[in-house]
Amino acid sequence: MLEARRVLRGERVLLRPLASTDLRRCVKWFSDPQIIRFLGRDAPVTLAEEERWFRDYERRTDEQIFAIEVEGQHVGNLGLHKIDRVHRKAEVGIVIGEPSFWSHGYGTEAMRVVLRYGFDVLGLNKISLDVLEYNTRALRTYERLGFQREGVHREDIYKDGRFVNVMRMSILARELREGPAA
C-alpha cells in the first residue's frame, strides 16, 4: 500500500515506515522491564516472533507502523492499528524504547504528527488507545493532545502480581490540540 511507505515530518521528529532491519532493536526494547512495565503484554519477544509478525504485517492494509527518528536515531515506534475505513476510525500505540529520550516532548510531537496524518490524509474521524492507569506520563501526554477518557476496563491486565485497570481514551478529528508539547 502506497500510504504505508510515507515519511512524516515534525519539527524535531521524523516518522518513516518500520523496516525489517529495525526488528532487532524492537526486540531489545520489548524485552526491557522498564518498557514492558507500561505495556499490555508481558513476555519478552524473540527475533523469530518479531520477524513472523512483520511478515504478516507487510501483507495487511489495516495497520501502519512508523519508526520514530530523532536526529537520525531510531528511538521508538508509533502505529496506527485496526484502520477501519467504513467507520473512519483506528487505534494508536506509541513506544519510545530509549528511556533517555522520554520527557523531551518527542512523544507528544510524534503523536501529533500521526494524528494529523490519520485525520487529514486517511480521513479518519476517531482515534483510540488503551493505557495502563498508572502510566501517568502517557496519560498526561494524551490529555495534552486532546484525548478524552472514555472509560475504564476494570482489572483488565495482570501485571507484576496484581490486576491493573486500563483506561480507554479517544480523540475526534475536531478535538486535536495544536501548539507546543508542554
Ligand X SMILES: CC(C)(COP(=O)(O)OP(=O)(O)OC[C@H]1O[C@@H](n2cnc3c(N)ncnc32)[C@H](O)[C@@H]1OP(=O)(O)O)[C@@H](O)C(=O)NCCC(=O)NCCS
Which of residues 123 and 155 has its CB atom nearest to ligand X in the complex?
155
- The total of other beta-carbon atoms located within 10 Å of residue 31's CB is 13
131 Cα distance to chain centroid: 11
Closest approach, Cβ 136 to ligand X, in A, equals: 7
175, 153, 177: which is closest to 165 by C-alpha?
153
Q: Which is nearer to ligand X, 128 or 135 (CB)?
A: 135
> Which stretch of DSSP H or E encloses residue 106?
helix 106-116
Give the residue with the Cβ less far from ligand X, 55 or 149: 149
Minimum CB–partner distance for residue 139 and ligand X (Å): 8
Q: Among all residues, whose Cβ is closest to ligand X?
A: 107
Residues that bind ligand X (CB under 6 A): 35, 38, 76, 94-96, 102-108, 131, 135, 137-138, 140-141, 181-182
Smallest distance, ligand X to C-beta of residue 95, A: 5
Q: Count the neighbouring beta carbons within 10 Å of the beta carbon of residue 167.
A: 21
Measured from the CB atom, the residue of 37 and 85 that comes closer to ligand X is 37
Quote the least distance from Cβ 32 to ligand X, whole Å: 10
- The distance of closest approach from Cβ of residue 69 to ligand X in the complex, given in angstroms and rounded to an integer, is 14
Round to whole Å and give the CA distance between 76 and 67: 6
When the beta carbons of 23 and 110 are compared against ligand X, the nearer one is 110
DSSP 20-58: GGGHHHHHHHHT-HHHHTTSS--SPPPHHHHHHHHHHHH
- Is residue 171 within 8 Å of residue 145, measured between CB atoms? yes
